[in-house]
């Protein structure tokens, strides 16, 4: 089926970016939940404004940390074959594809089907971040030249991503970050929540069970040092010195990080303020229509990056990720454009570690090693999509991004694509169905446990 007929309708929407989607989607959700039309529009606008504030401050944070990360990479770096061009370029490749809207429709349909069959508790409204699974499908298509297989793959991805999104929300990790009733949906990167959960369990058993070095503990023991502004300043100072900045530039970096740690939580608060009426209306609606069943609203985890532990981990992981890239054998890409953007990965790790900075750093380092190893395979596959979008590279070189590297669905797409000649349709479908089948018992056990708790 040709989906070109959707382009005149959806291209302006996609081109307008996530804020336009947020306004329209949350306004429509409010109307469907029978909110007063004026209130529904007002809430949609306030949520969009809150996210707009978050994105502005996050962009400011990334713009200020980016040069320091680049300076560190140049100062201590080596020669790598692939360039980290950043997630935004890959998102553009994804949404420019004529198959993007087919993937969107399939993933939305799977979400609704899973809700109706009680196989998920998340109603995902973060459509913008569908770019990750779209990119994964483009990888599979670039290798196999089979669009039907790629669209089938997108349906399986929708299942896996929702399962992982539920995992984090069901264990209260989103609520621990201050977002009750929400889940964080951001493509395959949601898998790092379960990974972080189990690494945290191991840390509990090896003598690091006590969550001691939280920002609150640091502030209690060391006074103003634990305050977000001061903590950001200290981290900025260390990062600026490591990058070899002039002293004036170090001071400006300190101010930038302090500003970010203060403003992002404020912007997140605006989002939460506007989401409360929507969540309450959703609870009333679900109580009437499905016996009180609760649904988590899937949103961009960007609203949670203002957490002090997340931002501290993000900056401290910059030199650690560079060190990992330099010492692991076979690595083909140095972290660069997306190095600060890895805060979207670290946000999944802080709650399982109860916001302890030391535990979170240990977990992030382990995750960083895992992701960097995946990048050895992912970079050439990402380059195929970039070439299909019209970019040209010298022989033996290419482009990827760290968020691509940390998106396991892209790795899965590449593995299935490379082995399609051996597996065939039957083999690929069998792999996907086995993966889905493995997740079902976990879901059924969760539903049974929830039912037992409700009956008690």
Question: Tell me: the pLDDT tens digits for 179-217?
Answer: 888 888 888 888 999 999 999 999 988 877 676 766 665
Categorize the per-residue pLDDT at 17 as very low, low, confident or very high, splitting at 50, 70 and 90.
Answer: low
DSSP label at 303? G
137 within 8 A of 154, measured Cβ to Cβ: yes
**Does 270 map to a domain?**
no
Tokens of 177: 């970050």
Q: How confident is the model at residue 221 (pLDDT cuts 50, 70, 90)?
A: low
- pLDDT digits 0-9 by tens, 295-336: 888 888 877 877 888 878 887 888 888 889 888 888 888 776
Indicate whether 7 pLDDT > 80: no
pLDDT tier at 279 (50, 70, 90 boundaries)? low
The verdict on residue 292 lying in a domain is yes
Helix (H) or strand (E) holding 74: helix 37-76
Average pLDDT along the chain: 81
In a domain, 39, yes or no: no
Residue 381 pLDDT: 93
Residue 79 has pLDDT above 60, yes or no: no
| 187 domain residue, yes or no | yes
End-to-end CA distance of the chain: 51
C-alpha to C-alpha distance for 274 and 272, rounded to whole angstroms: 5
The helix/strand/coil state of 392 is coil
User: So what's the pLDDT on residue 263?
Assistant: 72
In a domain, 166, yes or no: yes
Give CA–CA dist 50/216, Å, rounded.
26
| Helix or strand holding residue 135 (H, E) | helix 131-144
What the block records as the tokens of 158 is: 């929708």
Mark out the alpha helices in 291-338 (DSSP H runs). 308-327
Using CA of residue 96, residue 102, residue 108, residue 114, what is the dihedral sign? negative
C-alpha to C-alpha distance for 444 and 166, rounded to whole angstroms: 13
> Residue 399 forms beta bridges with which residues?
83
Using CA atoms, how far residue 78 sits from 326, 382, 397, in Å, is 7, 21, 15
Q: Would residue 201 count as lying in a domain? A: yes
Question: Rounded to whole angstroms, how far apart are CA atoms 157 and 110?
Answer: 10
Quick one: pLDDT band at residue 222, thresholds 50, 70, 90? very low
pLDDT band at 342 (very low <50, low <70, confident <90, very high): confident
Task: Quickly tell me which residue has 């790795």 as its tokens.
Answer: 411
Region 65-72: what's the mean pLDDT? 70
Domain count, the chain: 1
Query: What whole-number distance in Å separates Cα of residue 328 and Cα of residue 335?
Result: 13
What pLDDT is recorded for position 456? 60
User: Does residue 417 carry a pLDDT above 50?
Assistant: yes
Give the DSSP H or E segment for 399: strand 398-400
What integer is the mean pLDDT of 148-156? 94
**pTM for the predicted model, two decimal places:** 0.78
Find, among 66, 47, 46, 48, the residue nearest to 58 by Cα.
66
Q: What is the mean pLDDT of residues 132-146?
A: 93
> Is residue 168 over pLDDT 50?
yes
Cα–Cα distance, 251 to 183 (Å, whole number): 37
In a domain, 205, yes or no: yes
Which residue segment(s) compose the domain that 162 sits in?
Answer: 83-236+279-455
Pairwise CA distance, residues 325 & 314, whole Å:
16
Mean of pLDDT values over 393-417: 86
Tell me, yes or no, whether 253 lies in a domain: no
């Amino acid at each position: 089926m040709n989906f070109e007929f959707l382009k005149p309708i959806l291209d302006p929407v996609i081109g307008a970016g996530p804020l336009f989607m947020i306004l329209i989607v949350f306004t429509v959700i409010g109307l469907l939940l029978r909110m007063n039309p004026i209130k529904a529009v007002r809430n949609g606008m306030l949520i969009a404004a809150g996210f707009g504030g978050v994105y502005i401050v996050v962009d400011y944070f990334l713009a200020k940390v980016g040069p320091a990360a680049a300076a560190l990479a140049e100062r201590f770096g080596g020669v790598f074959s692939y360039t980290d061009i950043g997630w935004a370029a890959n998102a553009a490749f994804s949404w420019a594809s004529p198959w993007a809207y087919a993937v969107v429709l399939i993933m939305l349909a799977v979400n609704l089907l899973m809700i109706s069959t009680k196989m998920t508790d998340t109603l995902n409204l973060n459509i913008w971040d569908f770019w990750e699974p779209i990119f994964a499908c483009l990888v599979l298509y670039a290798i196999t030249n089979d669009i039907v297989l790629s669209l089938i793959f997108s349906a399986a991805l929708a299942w896996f991503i929702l399962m992982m999104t539920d995992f984090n929300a069901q264990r209260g990790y989103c609520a621990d970050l201050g977002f009750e009733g929400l889940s964080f949906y951001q493509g395959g990167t949601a898998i790092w929540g379960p990974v972080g959960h189990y690494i945290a369990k191991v840390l509990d058993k090896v003598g690091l069970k006590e969550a001691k070095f939280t920002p609150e503990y640091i502030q209690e023991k060391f006074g103003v040092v634990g305050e977000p502004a001061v903590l950001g300043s200290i981290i900025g100072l260390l990062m600026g010195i490591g990058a070899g900045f002039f002293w004036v530039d170090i001071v400006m970096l300190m101010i930038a990080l302090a500003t970010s740690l203060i403003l992002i939580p404020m912007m997140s608060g605006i989002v939460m303020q506007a989401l409360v009426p929507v969540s309450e209306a959703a609870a009333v609606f679900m109580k009437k229509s499905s016996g009180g069943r609760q649904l988590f609203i899937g949103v961009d985890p960007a609203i949670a990056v203002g957490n002090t532990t997340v931002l501290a981990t993000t900056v401290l992981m910059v030199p650690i990720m560079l060190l990992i890239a330099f010492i692991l054998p076979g690595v083909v890409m140095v972290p660069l454009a997306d190095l600060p953007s890895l805060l979207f990965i670290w946000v999944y790790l802080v709650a399982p570690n109860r916001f302890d900075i030391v535990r979170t750093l240990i977990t992030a380092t382990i995750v960083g090693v895992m992701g960097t190893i995946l990048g050895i395979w992912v970079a050439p596959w990402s380059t195929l999509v970039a070439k299909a979008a019209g970019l040209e590279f010298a022989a033996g070189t290419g482009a990827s991004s760290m968020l691509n590297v940390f998106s396991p669905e892209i790795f899965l797409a590449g593995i299935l694509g490379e082995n399609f000649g051996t597996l065939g349709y039957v083999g690929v479908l069998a792999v996907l169905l086995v993966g889905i089948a493995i997740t079902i018992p976990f879901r059924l056990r969760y539903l049974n446990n929830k039912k037992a708790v409700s009956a008690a």
